[in-house]
Structure 1
Amino acid sequence: MNIFSFLTKKKQKSPLKRQISFVGGRRHRVDVPYALPKDEREEERINFQHYALHKLLGSHYQAPINHTVRRILDTGTGTAQWAYDIARQFPHAQVCGLDLEQPRGTGFLPPENYYFVPGNILEPLPFPDNHFDFVHQRLLVSAIPTAQWPAVLQELVRVTRPGGYIELAEAGNGYQHVGVHTHTFLQWGQAASAKKGIDLAPIKHLDELLSRAKLRHIKTRTFRLPVGSWGGKEGALYATDMYAAFQGLKNFFCLVGGVDPNNFDTTLSALPQEWEAHHTTHEFYVAYGQK
């Protein structure tokens, strides 16, 4: 047993049983509410998204952590690109990525101070109390039913040591300057998400969620990200990521939300031109607090 296995002896209540569905050539996990696919195509998009967000936000995190941190957790780590970069930035820290399953092959060699632990954010985390100096969670709003947010945050707080920081970064339906097709798309997303018990509205108030979790020194930032080449190279990158993400939502919108597939395709194809014409922006929310 290696040291990382020892540090994660606390197990989740039940083993992770995968229930997989293939629809339209895309691989989905049907045992969890997560709306996007879990396949290599989606992993490529997530890698691209990580690059785009770093260009747009200018940093991998907002919390005032420093090189005294020794243990860092990234929940919902996906392809682990955020965790890899943080592991390189903090070579003296042990960085853990937690997700439902390990990436199928990102083509990137993980740093020696990174390790992966399988786990479900909707269940008790397989870590001891007061374990991590910094806990990071990004873009999981479509994976967490609204009623379960308090329990999720309670677990994040539990595994964070006193004085440590928790940071949440989310984006939802906060678009400005949209056209009719984007508006339609957002309505579809809201309706399909509601059927899974997911409401995107609370992410505008991440600070309130952290406050209810009894964190202190809470800070928030709202970034308005350009969607389209009208916003320069960064805007073009973000639009490419956005379009690919929307493509990945087709099965969710059509099978869960009842959207006609042909109508979906027609609406989707109209989005890039609409974003350019309206100078669409998308709100990205970051909040952190100290235990």
Structure 2
Amino acid sequence: MPIFSFLTKEKPTHQSNCPSVPTCPVSFMRGRRHRVDVPYALPKDEREEERINFQHYTLHKLLGGHYHAPIEPTVERILDVGTGTGKWAHDIARHFPQAQVYGLDLEQPLGTGLPPPSNYHFVQGNILHPLPFPGNQFDFIHQRLLVSAIPSVRWPAVLQELVRVTKPGGYIELAEAGNNYQRVGASMHTFLQWGQVASIRKGIDVSLMPYLGDLLAHVSMHRIRTKTFQLPVGSWGGKEGDLYARDLYAAFQGLKNFYCSVGEVNPDDFDAILTDLPQEWEFCHTTHDFYIAYGQK
């Protein structure tokens, strides 16, 4: 399988403290930078930012667009929760130039890139804390791939806070991937078991993700719609499958410290299993379930 540079090369890790958060607690393990004040499983470094940007491009291809909720062209205020590098929010800001688009995350991106659109605004915040916005502010709120950042007991409070800052009639859209893979081999089965053990120890329950619609109903959202995509993992699924396999492999690389430190997996065993996965995905024709749910306030 062709490998992008960020899947294999160890890059110099940004050693400075968090932008705009001079005392944020971080640790450096095996060349990766992690925030230690939140239950987030993946690194927060430039290498991960490169992967997230690649992932954004890949998911746009696989999911058929940037969003699925029926938001109006006249939308005025949009919030991207856990915005990461801001790539999704930047594209949305260009698509809706009349709207003010806000990206909320723990810290600004570490890397440098093109200047964001003038109608994009970064806001520092933690999804596990009250959001720094008054109530009834946003026509559309988007949250993607934060399952590894939100302990299961915190999901109701997180969603209640999203509802609080959504305008009446506005939409909330959640996009997540859990641990439901179809047609997996022995190595992938082992990898998923390791992930389950580490996640449970952090209070994270990825098995909730097929029930995003139920979570929205629990916080009194209406007109809820759900979609499940079976994403191909590997070039057997064409160009899009190859892209997704590259992204998944890079994400799994980023989970090494989480699996080894929290799940007590031997680092050499982790490397051996990870090396087996791309060929196994191709042989088994593995797919990964990806979930989208949206509802209206």
Superposition TM-score tier, normalisation by shorter sequence: over 0.9
Q: 1:158 to 1:17 in 2, by over 3 A?
A: farther
**1:15-46: CA deviation from partner (whole Å, max 9, x where unpaired):** 89511000000000010000000000000000
**CA positional deviation for 1:66:** 1.8
| TM-score (normalised: structure 1) | 0.94
Does residue 51 (structure 1) correspond to residue 53 (structure 2)? The answer is: no
- Give me the whole-angstrom Cα distance separating, in 2, the residues matched to 1:253 and 1:170: 20
**CA positional deviation for 1:106:** 4.2
Does residue 249 (structure 1) correspond to residue 255 (structure 2)? The answer is: yes
**1:198-223: CA deviation from partner (whole Å, max 9, x where unpaired):** 01011110000000010000000000
**1:64-119: CA deviation from partner (whole Å, max 9, x where unpaired):** 00211100000000000000000000000000000000001241220000000000
Give the gaps of 5 or more residues in structure 1: 1-14
What's the counterpart of residue 235 of structure 1? 241
Secondary structure, in 3 states, of the residue corresponding to 1:50?
helix
Counterpart of 2:289 (choices 277, 283, 287) is 283
Does residue 100 (structure 1) correspond to residue 111 (structure 2)? The answer is: no
**1:166-191: CA deviation from partner (whole Å, max 9, x where unpaired):** 00000010100000000100010110
Secondary structure, in 3 states, of the residue corresponding to 1:214?
coil
What's the counterpart of residue 82 of structure 2? 76
Letter in 1 for 2:117: P
Letter in 1 for 2:208: P
What's the counterpart of residue 86 of structure 1? 92
Q: What aligned pairs does 1:123-162 form with structure 2 within 5 A after superposition?
A: 123-162=129-168
**1:211-244: CA deviation from partner (whole Å, max 9, x where unpaired):** 0010000000000000000000000000000000
Secondary structure, in 3 states, of the residue corresponding to 1:169?
strand
- Give me the whole-angstrom Cα distance separating, in 1, the residues matched to 2:186 and 2:192: 10
The answer to whether the 8 A contact 1:170-1:286 is kept is yes
Secondary structure, in 3 states, of the residue corresponding to 1:168?
strand
Secondary structure, in 3 states, of the residue corresponding to 2:148?
helix
Question: Which shows bigger deviation, 120-129 or 16-25?
Answer: 16-25
What's the counterpart of residue 182 of structure 2? 176
Q: What aligned pairs does 1:166-205 form with structure 2 within 5 A after superposition?
A: 166-205=172-211
**CA positional deviation for 1:120:** 0.2
What's the counterpart of residue 213 of structure 1? 219
Question: Which shows bigger deviation, 154-163 or 15-24?
Answer: 15-24
The answer to whether the 8 A contact 1:79-1:106 is kept is no
Letter in 1 for 2:34: H
Q: 1:240 to 1:187 in 2, by over 3 A?
A: same
Letter in 2 for 1:33: P
Letter in 1 for 2:26: I
CA RMSD of superposed structures (Å): 1.0
Runs of 4+ in 1 over 4 A off after TM superposition: none
The answer to whether the 8 A contact 1:47-1:81 is kept is yes
Counterpart of 1:116 (choices 111, 118, 122) is 122
How many pairs align? 277
The answer to whether the 8 A contact 1:36-1:252 is kept is yes
- Give me the whole-angstrom Cα distance separating, in 1, the residues matched to 2:114 and 2:69: 26
- Give me the whole-angstrom Cα distance separating, in 2, the residues matched to 1:245 and 1:97: 22
What's the counterpart of residue 7 of structure 1? none
Letter in 2 for 1:239: A
- Give me the whole-angstrom Cα distance separating, in 1, the residues matched to 2:28 and 2:70: 42
What's the counterpart of residue 25 of structure 1? 31
Q: Percent identity at matched positions?
A: 72
